[in-house]
Amino acid sequence: MKFPVTRLRRLRVNEAIRRLVRETRLDAGDLIYPVFVMEGKGSVVPVEAMPGIKRFTVDTLPDEIESVAAAGIPGVIIFGVPSAKDGLASGAWAEDGVVQRAVKQIKERFTGLLVATDVCLCGYTDHGHCGVVEDGRIVNDSSVEILARTAVSHARAGADIVAPSDMMDGRVGAIRRALDGAGYEDVAVMAYSAKYASAFYGPFREAADSRPQFGDRRSYQMDPPNAAEALVEVALDLDEGADIVMVKPALAYLDVIYRVKEKFGRPVAAYNVSGEYSLVKAAAARGWVDERAVVLEMLTAIRRAGADIILTYFAKDVAKWLKEG
């Protein structure tokens, strides 16, 4: 049926009718808020490259978590910033490590909140790579062992979800087996399955102090031009037991999110990363864009592409804006 019988503007004439036919909705219940926890006492340190984002010590964390829970956001993902680093990332799996203590505390005080943990070594190694280094190479299999040990220590502290972000081959299977072997069958794995070697992680590396000291991450993170390969990564991770698969970053990879959701139909998370956050913040601070409108449009696009879950530094603002209507 064509014009003049068909007039698509009929369903756009006012907000009530637009709302009625809206295809995609944003909900605070779909969001996960990233939180940085550092070693030390009594301090809160703003992340310069990410206006509005701060690093907390375990004792200053509860107020921040309270504000997340009060906003109706179902979960947080914890990133640790240890004070000591070494070649084997021993701080990553230390029983009294900063993430382990933070998780324990959150689960004691905020029983209903989901706690996910980023499982990676880059913040804990002296060279800043996501795996163990031998002769200048990032070695896969011994890294996987340490990652599995790290995931189990997070589960022991009370994590509901562990999220490996290292991009070593075979780590999801190893983590699943290690969790099951230790009695944590109910701890879910949210795999950073299609994680690209992206320039959009720049501000995060200040927040997590995880910049590689030599080279870059291109021998383990995905090459940005590839999409078919992302489907192989996702298939392998699902096969190895991933419960949720993630695409990261989100905005420059909406096509990948779309393909993953179409092909597998499994829960898909997308990480609206630090660079995506800081670009908006910088432009908004100059009055060049309307922050609220731009953020809601971006996150809606991520949902429309097929993501069920969005990890975003905007989560608290978005929850507030959605409440205001």
Q: What are the residues binding ligand PBG (CB under 6 A)?
A: 118, 120, 122, 130, 165, 201, 204-205, 210, 217, 273-274
- Within 10 angstroms of residue 183's Cβ, the number of other Cβ atoms is 11
Q: What's the closest the beta carbon of residue 91 comes to ligand PBG, in angstroms? A: 14
Phi-psi region of 136 (alpha: psi -120 to 50; beta: other; left: phi over 0): left
Q: What's the closest the beta carbon of residue 119 comes to ligand PBG, in angstroms? A: 9
Query: Number of C-alpha atoms within 13 angstroms, CB side, residue 196?
Result: 26
Q: Which of 54, 85, 248, 261 is catalytic?
A: 248
Q: Would you say 122 or 190 has its CB closer to ligand PBG? A: 122
Report yes or no: 253 and 247 within 8 Å, Cβ to Cβ.
yes
Backbone angles phi, psi at 123, to 5 degrees: -80, -10
**How far is the C-alpha of 55 from the C-alpha of 43, rounded, in Å?**
8
- Within 10 angstroms of residue 115's Cβ, the number of other Cβ atoms is 24
**Three-class SS of residue 195?**
strand
Strand 244-248 with 137-139, pairing? unpaired
Return the beta strands (E) in the chain as ranges. 31-38, 44-46, 54-57, 75-81, 114-119, 132-134, 137-139, 161-164, 188-195, 244-248, 268-272, 309-312
**How far is the C-alpha of 194 from the C-alpha of 232, rounded, in Å?**
9
Q: Would you say 10 or 310 has its CB closer to ligand PBG? A: 310
Q: Would you say 59 or 68 has its CB closer to ligand PBG? A: 68
Query: Which residues on neighbouring strands pair with residue 69, listed in sequence order?
Result: none
Query: Which residues on neighbouring strands pair with residue 269, listed in sequence order?
Result: 246, 309
Q: What's the closest the beta carbon of residue 205 comes to ligand PBG, in angstroms? A: 6
Q: Which of 195, 261, 281, 316 is catalytic?
A: 195
Q: What's the closest the beta carbon of residue 313 comes to ligand PBG, in angstroms? A: 7
Q: What's the closest the beta carbon of residue 234 comes to ligand PBG, in angstroms? A: 18
**How far is the C-alpha of 29 from the C-alpha of 210, rounded, in Å?**
30
Q: What's the closest the beta carbon of residue 217 comes to ligand PBG, in angstroms? A: 6
Q: Would you say 24 or 219 has its CB closer to ligand PBG? A: 219
Q: Would you say 60 or 274 has its CB closer to ligand PBG? A: 274
C-alpha angle 191/194/195, rounded to 5°? 90
Is 195 assigned a catalytic role?
Answer: yes
Is 85 assigned a catalytic role?
Answer: no
Q: Would you say 62 or 224 has its CB closer to ligand PBG? A: 224
Catalogue the active-site residues.
Answer: 195, 248
